[in-house]
Amino acid sequence: MDLISLLFPAPFLLIPPTFVPSPFSLSTIFDVGKVPSCTLSRPSPRGRLGLRPRRRPGLVSMIMAAWPRRRLLLLRGRQAAARLLGVLWLACVAAEGVAGGEPPLKCDELRLGQYPESDPKIDNSTQEPLNCTNHTANVPCRPAPNITCKDHSGNENNFTGKEVGFYKPIACRNVNGYSYKVAVALSLFLGWLGADRFYLGYPALGLLKFCTVGFCGIGSLIDFILISMQIVGPSDGSSYIIDYYGARLTRLSITNETFRKTQTYP
């Protein structure tokens, strides 16, 4: 080792790392008669060993690096979902084909345009539809041609427009032989004798009107108005016999049960 470096270590320690003599040797610095040539150099960005220092990746860099991979995963997920839906659709189609499709429609579930509206048959003696019981009558309905449905017997048929597909219930009135025209005529011409009350089944009021000459005509006038408006009817609670396609009056009443029932017509 050089003697000068042992005796004078300070100059070597005081020299900054960026101020390096060229060539780097202590003999050049302390050589007599020579001026050391020094150059100012910057430290290399790669460090003393010539390697670039590794930096930590930032959040933006991580997101940008992961973005293509995320798009790829989303694309693969959509493709898998589309394949799964296709498989399920094929399975549903196959199951429907095996089951034979939808069950046939019942004839009583047809819409109004799928069967002609037929008028009920009217009984001449009662002026009500045939087989009227409990204020209900069944009218035969015939589906239109080329309509397939299940009839009232449960058989599936392709109708031609002449066969009966189902029976539609309609409202009707129960009558017991009391004619509206006869009751109005008796009240108008023989009401002062009580003939109208005798005819409708009120013998006591009829006898009272006969004895008082229709309550001096006032009772006869009141009964004529009540019978004409169909407020007073037969005593057994039945309805008048009125022409089916004639004028009828329907009395409407409001009770606590009105909102629970649908409005019916006689």
Residue 154 in any domain: the answer is yes
Beta carbons within 8 Å of 195's beta carbon, 6+ residues apart: 186, 187, 206
Higher-confidence position of 255 and 22: 255
pLDDT (tens digit per residue) in 235-257 = 998 989 998 887 777 777 777 76
pLDDT (tens digit per residue) in 130-147 = 888 888 998 888 888 888
Among 134, 155, 172, residue at a domain's last position: 172
> Can you tell me the mean pLDDT for 75-79?
75
> Can you tell me the mean pLDDT for 112-131?
86
Among 172, 197, 220, residue at a domain's last position: 172
Residue 213's nearest CA partner among 188, 191, 197 is: 191
Q: How far apart are CA 200 and CA 212, in angstroms?
A: 19
Q: What pLDDT sits at residue 40? A: 44
Same domain, 89 and 141: no
Whether pLDDT at 258 is above 70: no
Say how far residue 46 (Cα) sits from the centre of its chain.
Answer: 72
In the chain, the number of structural domains is 4
Amino acid at 25: S
Phi-psi region of 201 (alpha: psi -120 to 50; beta: other; left: phi over 0): left
Q: How far apart are the first and last CA of the chain?
A: 135
Q: How far apart are CA 169 and CA 69, in angstroms?
A: 69
Backbone angles phi, psi at 166, to 5 degrees: -160, 170
Whether pLDDT at 51 is above 80: no
pLDDT (tens digit per residue) in 185-203 = 999 999 999 999 999 999 9
Q: Residue 37 in contact with residue 22, Cβ under 8 Å? A: yes
Whether pLDDT at 179 is above 90: yes
Same domain, 129 and 149: yes
Residue 228 in any domain: the answer is yes
Report pTM. 0.52
**% of the chain surpassing 70 pLDDT:** 65
Among 126, 153, 172, residue at a domain's last position: 172
Same domain, 85 and 18: no
pLDDT (tens digit per residue) in 204-247 = 999 999 999 989 999 999 999 999 988 899 999 898 999 888 77
Instruction: Point out the least confidently predicted range of 77-81, 155-159, 229-233.
Output: 77-81
Amino acid at 16: P
Residue 62 in any domain: the answer is no
Residue 63 in any domain: the answer is no
Residue 195's nearest CA partner among 158, 156, 224, 161 is: 224
Boundaries of domain holding 83: 70-102
Same domain, 84 and 142: no
Amino acid at 28: T
Residue 48 in any domain: the answer is no
